């Protein structure tokens, strides 16, 4: 009996500490940075940007990653296009847009004025996509094409759904808007709504359609996942080739003499990642935040990683020069030097992350196995000032290491115009560190944008929107000295490996990264995922890329939505609880739907060939915003 009691106590202790350890691992993963960001790839006219937590508005800079808290303003006769993976976001004249939340599973946009068009190409069952306006919140339920128009007073929202389906919440009510409907919601505390046929397309609609058609024909989708943000611009500026040892690679066209990766651009500080590279070239996003760079046969080429559904974004896939043998003074202080990581080389983040994140950011961006990741990871965490036991290929490539002064680095100045000359021998013999040994300044956060000529009216920037999920409060800039980035639990062995993307184990069948089940592409005689956009048949250029059979485990997930008063975001207000509708209200809704159906059947010819329906003219859209006195 005594022995049984002792065993019971021991078992209880084991279960307790095991539970605490598992909970600690979950907490660490929840604190990981998002694996997705937005990218502004096109602007026309005057578009201004305000980093989250900052009061300054600057001119928008292409290729700067955008994340939660960032604000955009397209002035009169201006427009912009952004991407989050395969999702396209387009804003038109006099439009105010804020990223309330952007993480692995949540995309929450604040549209306080103006016009927004969305093309959602991929949506997993656990994803939450929400557009919030001053009088309602719209939750996207399926892939498709959507337009939102908010009037000057903020009391009318027009929602046009060419394809797709979503739910409107506001004023204590909820409504479903489906493909082929144009719905107008007016009021604030009580929503009034009308549904009609799709209005005639305007210039903004036609522009968005032409951009979508071009993306649908992108050849690069044959070689990388469409969830690689920025892939849509590769076709126009480079060519896909086959390189021995690397497979299919992308080679940029028309680059300057002496060009090297991570040289024609500047550094900025973006929380929570820290130092982030912004490339100048119009194609310069995907090749600098995913994959690796290689120098072969006398030219630089970008080597994408395994084709996975959603690779993990990285702020800059580089290693920094430092430690032993590095004593270069430039402009009165130590110089800052870096070089691109080559294929199969391990990236060790300089920001705080979980152990699982280190695996995932590597195996989704290059062909490397978990043993290699663990070995390099442990070297950095036991010898953080001088990594001498890792050999880096590109450090020894002539003209591959870039060196600038600290002043150039922290003040977001153009790197290629401020290069420092250092002997090649000194660069190749120096040690390697994982972080740039410099602190950010306010200019590091603002970046290279010049002070904005125009900015949205204060009444618009302060206007609240309705939400179903309360996002975290906007970040506040801090310039306190940073603590060294220490990846947690370095003494723990790596998780038991299971499955790796094809070719990523380099012949080592014993070490494979862990996996988590993910939605599969529809197979023959199986129902398709209702939230996956339908694409042309297999074998065509635009055929749907099948999802891999397995996905890495412990991919960072967002923290549960904070819906309490402690998460006080001044720009949002929680939608009131949805009340039950009276029989009279239900009858009115039914009649409106029937009227819409009857009009649709009368107005649409049979067997229309267009993929995107050509609407008939209907009621006028919501009043478009007028120019403001600034």
pLDDT at 308: 82
* Residue after which a domain boundary falls, among 526, 552, 578: 552
State pLDDT tens for residues 72-95: 999 999 999 999 999 999 999 999
Determine the average pLDDT of the residues in 25-54: 86
Sort strands 165-170 and 173-178 into parallel, antiparallel or unpaired: antiparallel
Asked if residue 39 belongs to a domain, the reply is no
Asked if residue 122 belongs to a domain, the reply is no
Residue 518 CA to residue 501 CA, distance in Å, equals 14
Nearest Cα neighbor of 303 from 240, 219, 349 is: 240
pLDDT at 603: 76
Contacts of 606 (CB under 8 A, 6+ apart): none
Confidence category of residue 474, pLDDT binned at 50, 70, 90: confident
pLDDT at 277: 98
State pLDDT tens for residues 121-156: 999 989 999 999 999 999 999 999 999 999 999 999
Asked if residue 380 belongs to a domain, the reply is yes
What is the count of structural domains for the chain?
2
State pLDDT tens for residues 251-294: 999 998 889 999 999 999 999 999 999 999 999 999 999 999 99
Asked if residue 577 belongs to a domain, the reply is no
Asked if residue 164 belongs to a domain, the reply is no
Asked if residue 282 belongs to a domain, the reply is yes
pLDDT at 558: 37
Asked if residue 291 belongs to a domain, the reply is yes
pLDDT at 530: 42
Whether 346 contacts 368, CB under 8 Å: yes
Q: Which domain holds residue 20?
A: 1-30
How confident is the prediction for the chain on average, in pLDDT?
Answer: 81
State pLDDT tens for residues 491-524: 333 333 333 333 333 333 333 333 333 333 333 3
Burial class (CB in 10 A: 0-12, 13-18, 19+), 482: middle
Asked if residue 36 belongs to a domain, the reply is no
What tokens does 479 get? 């310039």
Least confident of 402-416, 464-478, 564-578: 564-578
What tokens does 389 get? 């036991």
Least confident of 25-34, 179-188, 222-231, 301-310: 25-34
- What is the value of pTM for the model shown? 0.80
Q: Does position 533 have pLDDT exceeding 90, yes or no?
A: no
């Amino acid at each position: 009996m005594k022995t049984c009691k002792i065993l019971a106590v021991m078992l209880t202790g084991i279960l307790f500490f095991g539970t605490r350890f598992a909970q600690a691992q979950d907490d660490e993963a929840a604190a990981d940075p998002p694996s997705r960001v937005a990218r502004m790839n096109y602007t026309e006219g005057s578009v201004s940007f305000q980093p989250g937590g900052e009061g300054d508005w600057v001119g928008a800079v292409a290729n700067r990653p955008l994340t939660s808290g960032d604000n955009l303003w397209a002035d009169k006769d201006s427009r912009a296009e952004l991407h989050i993976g395969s999702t396209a976001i387009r804003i038109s004249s006099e439009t105010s847009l804020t990223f309330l939340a952007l993480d692995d599973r949540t995309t929450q946009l604040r549209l306080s004025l103006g016009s927004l068009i969305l093309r959602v190409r991929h949506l997993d069952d656990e994803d939450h996509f929400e557009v919030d306006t001053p009088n309602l919140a719209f939750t996207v339920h399926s892939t498709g094409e959507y337009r939102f128009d908010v009037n000057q007073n903020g009391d009318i929202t027009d929602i046009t759904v060419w394809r797709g389906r979503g739910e409107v919440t506001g004023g204590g009510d909820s409504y479903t808007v489906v493909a082929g409907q144009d719905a107008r919601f007016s009021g604030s505390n009580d929503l009034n709504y009308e549904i009609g046929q799709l209005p005639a397309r305007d210039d903004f609609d036609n522009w968005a359609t032409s951009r979508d058609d071009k993306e649908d024909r992108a050849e690069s989708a044959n070689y990388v996942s469409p969830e690689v943000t920025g892939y849509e611009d590769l076709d126009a500026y480079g060519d896909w080739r086959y390189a021995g040892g690397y497979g299919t690679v992308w080679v940029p066209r028309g680059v300057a003499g002496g060009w090297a990766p991570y040289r024609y651009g500047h550094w900025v500080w973006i929380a929570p990642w820290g130092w982030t590279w912004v490339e100048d070239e119009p194609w310069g996003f995907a090749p600098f935040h995913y994959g690796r760079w290689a120098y072969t046969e006398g030219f630089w080429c970008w080597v994408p990683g395994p084709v996975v559904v959603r690779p993990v974004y990285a702020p800059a896939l580089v290693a920094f020069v430092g430690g032993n043998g590095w004593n270069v003074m430039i402009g009165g202080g130590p110089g800052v030097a870096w070089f691109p990581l080559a294929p199969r080389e391990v990236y060790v983040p300089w920001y705080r992350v979980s152990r699982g994140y280190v695996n995932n950011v590597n195996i989704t961006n290059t062909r490397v196995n978990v043993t290699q990741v663990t070995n390099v990871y442990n070297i950095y965490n036991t010898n953080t000032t001088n990594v001498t036991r890792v050999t880096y290929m590109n450090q020894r490539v002539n003209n591959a290491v870039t060196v600038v002064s600290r002043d150039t680095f922290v003040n977001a100045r153009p790197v290629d115009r401020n290069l420092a000359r250092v002997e090649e021998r000194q660069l190749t013999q120096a040690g390697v560190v994982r972080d740039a040994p410099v602190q950010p300044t306010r200019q590091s956060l603002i970046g290279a944008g010049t002070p904005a000529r125009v900015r949205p009216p204060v009444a618009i920037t302060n206007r609240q929107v309705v939400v179903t999920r309360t996002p975290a409060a906007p970040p506040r800039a801090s310039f306190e000295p940073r603590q060294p980035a220490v990846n947690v639990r370095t003494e723990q062995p790596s998780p038991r490996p299971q499955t790796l993307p094809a070719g990523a184990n380099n012949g080592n069948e014993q070490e494979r990264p862990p996996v988590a089940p993910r939605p599969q592409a529809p197979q023959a005689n199986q129902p398709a995922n209702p939230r996956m956009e339908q694409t042309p048949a297999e074998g065509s250029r635009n055929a749907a890329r099948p999802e891999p059979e397995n996905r890495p485990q412990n991919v960072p997930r967002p923290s549960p939505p904070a819906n309490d008063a402690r998460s006080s975001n001044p720009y949002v207000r929680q939608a009131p609880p949805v009340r039950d509708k009276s029989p009279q209200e239900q009858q009115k809704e039914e009649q409106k739907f029937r009227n819409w159906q009857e009009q649709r059947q009368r107005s649409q010819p049979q067997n229309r060939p267009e993929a995107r329906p050509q609407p008939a003219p209907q009621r006028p859209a919501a009043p478009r915003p007028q120019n403001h006195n600034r």
